[in-house]
Chain A
């Protein structure tokens, strides 16, 4: 079973601060996705990373896939209250069922005005 560990589990910061969320595994993933979930809604895709070492930017969000494709990070610059939500990473295994996306347990981010 491929497991994804996310840290920290909870994060409460002030508007304008920077933060990094981590997603780690002992398994290799062929790709990794980050989702954000807001209360009462389903998760929504932010980004997909496929290549080891890949860096993608989405406005103030920077996503990185580890060289060995076992870990990923999400960095938010100058966080805003609108960034509040549950951030989930999800990996697609390099073996076994390619239909299956395994989710981490999430990081609940609160950005206070």
Chain B
């Protein structure tokens, strides 16, 4: 029944490693997002895909690479992890054209990444 699901929920890894976070939504939405929430709870957009096409790519190090194999999935791969990458990463989705473009974001429950 989970609408937007992320795995894993917790990820602890060492500096320099490469890791991936997976996201799946079963809402039939056409647009998916990755947000990063730092220790001060600031939620900052990283990427967005609409129908598998990258439409938003904020100022994010190129160590971060999103991949959308289909409309229901958006994964995030991170190379050469750094201490500053520690944060909670949220996946979200929405159907862009619903409600005149004001449709709500549906968030997953986040992946807490800790880099040691």
Query: Contacts of B42 on A, CB cut-off 8 Å?
Result: 103, 105-106
Cβ B43 vs Cβ A43 within 8 A: yes
Q: With A50-B102, A92-B101 given, is the CB distance from A100 to B41 under 8 Å? A: no
Q: Counting CB contacts under 8 A, is B67 at the interface?
A: no
Per DSSP, chain A at the interface is: strand
Q: Provide the bound-state CA to CA distance between A44 and B90, in Å.
A: 12
Q: Counting CB contacts under 8 A, is A102 at the interface?
A: yes
Q: Counting CB contacts under 8 A, is A111 at the interface?
A: no
Q: With A48-B99, A48-B104, A50-B102 given, is the CB distance from A99 to B41 under 8 Å? A: no
Which residues B49-83 have CB closer than 8 A to chain A?
A: 50, 55-56
Which residues B1-25 have CB closer than 8 A to chain A?
A: 4
Cβ B44 vs Cβ A103 within 8 A: yes
Q: B38 — nearest CB in chain A belongs to which residue? A: A105
Q: With A42-B4, A42-B92 given, is the CB distance from A98 to B101 under 8 Å? A: yes
Cβ A103 vs Cβ B107 within 8 A: no
Q: A103 — nearest CB in chain B belongs to which residue? A: B43
Cβ B40 vs Cβ A99 within 8 A: no
Q: B43 — nearest CB in chain A belongs to which residue? A: A103
Q: Provide the bound-state CA to CA distance between A109 and B105, in Å.
A: 22
Cβ A101 vs Cβ B41 within 8 A: no
Query: Contacts of B45 on A, CB cut-off 8 Å?
Result: 100-103
Cβ A99 vs Cβ B31 within 8 A: yes
Cβ A106 vs Cβ B105 within 8 A: no
Cβ B102 vs Cβ A92 within 8 A: yes
Cβ B40 vs Cβ A105 within 8 A: yes
Which residue of the partner chain, among A31, A44, A105, contacts B107 with CB atoms under 8 Å? A44
Query: Contacts of B102 on A, CB cut-off 8 Å?
Result: 31, 33, 48, 50, 92
Q: A100 — nearest CB in chain B belongs to which residue? A: B56
Which residue of the partner chain, among B48, B101, B108, contacts A42 with CB atoms under 8 Å? B108
Q: Provide the bound-state CA to CA distance between A65 and B69, in Å.
A: 38
**15 contacts across the A-B interface (CB closer than 8 A):** A33-B102, A40-B109, A40-B110, A42-B90, A42-B110, A43-B90, A88-B43, A92-B101, A92-B102, A102-B45, A103-B35, A105-B40, A105-B42, A106-B41, A106-B42
